Structure 1
Amino acid sequence: MFTPFTRILLIIGGIAMAIYLYTKSEYIAMAMSLFSALLFIYGYYKYGTVYIAFQELKKGKFDKVEKLVSKIKNPATLSKGQKSYYHFIQGAITANNNEWEKSYTEFSKALNIGLRTKNDTSIVLLNLANIEFERKNFEQAKEFIRKVREFDLKPTVELDVNKLEKEINAVQS
Structure 2
Amino acid sequence: MIRKYVRLIIAGILFLGSIFLFIQALVGTGVLVVLLSGIFVLFHFKNEMNLFAFYFVRKNKFEASGKVLGRVKNPENMIKTQEAYYYYLSGLVEAQKQKNAQAEKHFKKALETGLRLKTDQAVAKLNLSGIALSKRNKKLATYYLQDAKKLDKQKVLTAQIREIEAMMKRI
Tell me whether the two structures share a fold, i.e. TM-score over 0.5. yes
CA RMSD in angstroms, aligned pairs only: 3.2
Give the TM-score normalised by the residue count of structure 1.
Answer: 0.72
Question: How many residue pairs were aligned?
Answer: 149
| Contact 2:63 2:93 (8 Å CA) reproduced | no
Q: Unpaired runs of 5+ in structure 1?
A: 1-10, 16-20
| Letter aligned with residue 89 of structure 1 | L
CA distance in 2, matches of 1:133, 1:88: 19
State the identity as a percent: 24
SS of alignment partner, residue 87 of structure 1: helix
Does residue 1:134 correspond to 2:126, yes or no?
A: no
| Structure 2 unaligned residues grouped into runs of 5+ | 1-9, 22-29
Rounded Cα–Cα distance in structure 1 between residues aligned with 2:77 and 2:46 = 6
Give distance in 1, aligned partners of 2:60 and 2:136: 26
Aligned amino acid, residue 86 of structure 2 = Y
Summarize deviations over 1:7-26 as a string: whole Å, max 9, x none: xxxx9xx99xxxxx9xxxx9
Say yes or no: does 1:119 pair with 2:111.
Answer: no
The answer as to 2:20 corresponding to 1:28 is yes
Q: Say whether the 8 Å CA contact 1:91–1:106 is kept in structure 2.
A: yes
Give the 3 Å change call, closer, same or farther, for CA 40–98 of structure 1 in structure 2: same
TM-score under structure 2 length normalisation? 0.72
**1:1-173 equivalent positions in 2, closer than 5 A:** 28-29=20-21, 40=40, 43=43, 47-171=47-171
Counterpart of 2:51, as a letter, is Y
How many Å apart are 1:170 and its aligned residue?
1.5
What is the letter of the counterpart of residue 109 of structure 2? K
Structure 2 distance, partners of 1:45, 1:163, is: 36
Q: Secondary structure at the match of 1:54?
A: helix
Q: What is the identity, as a one-letter code, of the residue corresponding to 1:125? A: K
Amino acid at match of 2:61: K
Deviations for 1:91-149, whole angstroms, at most 9, x for unmatched residues?
A: 11111122111111100011111112111110000000011011111111011111111
Distance 2:159 2:58 in 1: 17
In 2, Cα distance between equivalents of 1:126 and 1:62: 19
SS in structure 1 at match of 2:143: helix
Decide whether the 8 Å contact of 1:54 with 1:85 is kept in 2: no
